[in-house]
Chain A
Amino acid sequence: DGGITQSPKYLFRKEGQNVTLSCEQNLNHDAMYWYRQDPGQGLRLIYYSQIVNDFQKGDIAEGYSVSREKKESFPLTVTSAQKNPTAFYLCASRGGTSTYEQYFGPGTRLTVT
């Protein structure tokens, strides 16, 4: 997990509240990604960003928002519009254009009740 930090590790929120998950990397990577992991469903892409001040929706962006104001940071906000927000959230980053693998942070487990 080295080089990518996510905080907090566990997060609890009441239904109807927005919550922001932190992702920071010190790998000098341009691209960053947010995934959601649910049991038996693998990883699903929420948002990704190739460079600062640019980001695109992934496969399940509804109810989520992101920003990319700094190269090192890619926070994810889970809004009250997300119908089923309880999940394990993973942030990842990727190096140069010739490097295809992504490197992951330790994850944040969000529980909404």
Chain B
Amino acid sequence: AQSVAQPEDQVNVAEGNPLTVKCTYSVSGNPYLFWYVQYPNRGLQFLLKYITGDNLVKGSYGFEAEFNKSQTSFHLKKPSALVSDSALYFCAVRDPMYTGTASKLTFGTGTRLQVTL
């Protein structure tokens, strides 16, 4: 069965510094990977995805993520953090072996990013 791990409950970073939010996955075959962001009392917003191709994926709001097959990781990064980036971030994976059309995703437990001045 597929699974996603976000090893850090919270990440703290100063504004202007680079940030990394970690995600590791476990699936059979090549995964489809996603990052979402959630602001308080709101739904999830899609940031970026990796399906195939270049290992470095660029997404919304200046975020990017690096797919590393050997380390089974898909870490979210941003070169310079903003206070407004403070939110809850979720990594998700779709099992490529799943043959149905429903595109079921498995989500991690989330990492809270706190950016301070």
A residues neighboring B (CB under 8 Å): 1, 4, 6, 9, 31, 33, 40-43, 45, 48, 50, 56, 58, 88, 90, 92, 94, 97, 100-107, 109
**How far is it, in angstroms, between the C-alpha of A90 and the C-alpha of B46 when the chains are bound?**
14
Contacting pair A100 B49 (CB below 8 A): yes
With A48-B104, A100-B103 as known contacts, state yes or no: A42 contacts B45, CB within 8 Å: no
Tier of interface size on chain B: 20 to 34
Closest A residue to B34 by beta carbon equals A101
**Contacts of A58 on B, CB cut-off 8 Å?**
104
With A90-B43, A106-B42, A109-B41 as known contacts, state yes or no: A100 contacts B102, CB within 8 Å: no
B residues neighboring A (CB under 8 Å): 9, 32, 34, 36, 41-46, 49, 51, 90, 94, 100-105, 107-110
Contacting pair B102 A56 (CB below 8 A): yes
**How far is it, in angstroms, between the C-alpha of A31 and the C-alpha of B46 when the chains are bound?**
16
Contacts A1-B43, A107-B43 known; list 10 others, CB within 8 Å: A9-B41, A40-B109, A41-B109, A50-B102, A90-B44, A92-B44, A97-B101, A101-B46, A101-B49, A106-B42
Which of the residues B44, B101, B108 comes within 8 Å of A50, measured between beta carbons? Answer: B101
